Amino acid sequence: METKIYVAGGWFSPAQMEAIQQVEHLAAMHGDAFMPRLHNLGEEGCNWEKVFEVNIDKLNDCDIVIASTVDKDMGTIFECGYAYSRGKQILYYSPGIAKPNLMLGMSGLIFNDITKLELYLQTGKYENIAKDYE
């Protein structure tokens, strides 16, 4: 059975868009990926209550959440907190950071380079970044 992956992250700035596209690409290569950016975009005037319900259902059903933390998107913060409360594995993609956030570091694995995240998805090998939290 394929791993079910929920991709969390904003796409509201150029930096966010670049990061979420990288994460979406990896997720699609390594499992059955639900990508809110792509799967929730519908016609204008979409039903936001339905979007919320679908996202919660997909979070409940997933095995792993891969989250881009670029620019600290509020929806992503909610999704990761919810996923943690449900016992889901969380992989944070935080490009370029050297000093991780305590709450992220204690709730999941943090990757500061997309190639390290890809290596983990392929092999399960994790190269921990510094545990000197901010």
pLDDT digits (tens, 9 = 90+) for 22-43: 999 999 999 999 999 988 865 5
What pLDDT does 41 receive? 65
**Nearest CA among 23, 26, 24, 30 for reference residue 3:** 30
Considering the entire predicted model, what is its pTM? 0.92
Count of other CB atoms within 10 angstroms of residue 85: 10
Q: What is the pLDDT of residue 129?
A: 74
Question: CA-CA distance, 104 to 81, in Å (whole number)?
Answer: 10
